[in-house]
Amino acid sequence: MRDDSVLLTILQENPNDARAFEEILQKYERLIYFVARRYFPIAEDAMDASQEAAIKIYNGLPRATVAEGGTLKAWVCTVTARVCLDALRKKRPIVVELTEDAPVAHLPSAEDAVAANERTREILQAVHELPNDHRMVVILRDMQGMAYDEIAGALKISVGTVKSRLSRAREKLRRVLR
């Protein structure tokens, strides 16, 4: 698989190069779905948003600009998150208990497994209830492991704003999860 910068250059020079787009999509399709799933508790809604994000990514790749120090991964996350936010704005969120696809812990006892699974649901629900700007930095930093400067470049905000939003989001999560 070719390097992201090579693929991006190819697409900017030849926007109709389907193979280059397929390589990028193949590399990031799980990430796109993962980000969408954090915004939508229902798998079908996340899949719809993922498909919409893939279309936006395809259309935007020839014009994509990755900030200095940024990555294509950050750009893909940003596009996906914005598609999800647009979908949420169009469709007021319905409060749904997170039950499907929650990770099941492999623990010795059934009681421990139920408790761990419930805690995971509580955490995901708490993240889902964060304001959109806070949820986005939590997803990118704590769930995707992106660096502060990558997040700042992707969201077009300062590193200080990233840190501030992340701090506030984590504090709110701590309060909610106590």
Identify the domain containing residue 69 by its residue range.
1-96
**Which run of H or of E encompasses 12?**
helix 4-13
Show the tokens assigned to 154: 């992707």
What is the domain-level CATH number for residue 10? 1.10.1740.10
What is the number of domains present in the chain? 1
Domain-embedded: residue 34: yes
Say which residues have a Cβ less than 8 Å from residue 8's Cβ, sequence separation at least 6.
61, 64, 66, 72
In a domain, 70, yes or no: yes
CB 38 within 8 A of CB 139: yes
* Residues ≥6 apart with Cβ < 8 Å to 53: 32, 35, 36, 79, 80, 83, 84
Q: Give a yes or no: residue 131 inside a domain.
A: no
**DSSP 8-state code for residue 133:** H
> Tens-digit pLDDT profile for the chain (178 aa)?
677 777 777 777 877 777 878 888 888 899 999 999 888 888 898 899 999 999 898 888 777 776 666 678 888 888 998 898 888 877 654 444 555 555 544 444 556 656 667 777 788 888 888 898 898 888 888 877 888 888 888 788 899 999 999 999 999 988 988 8
Look at residue 133 and tell me if it is in a domain. no
Domain annotation covers residue 154: no
Is residue 148 a part of any domain in this protein? no
pTM given for the model: 0.57
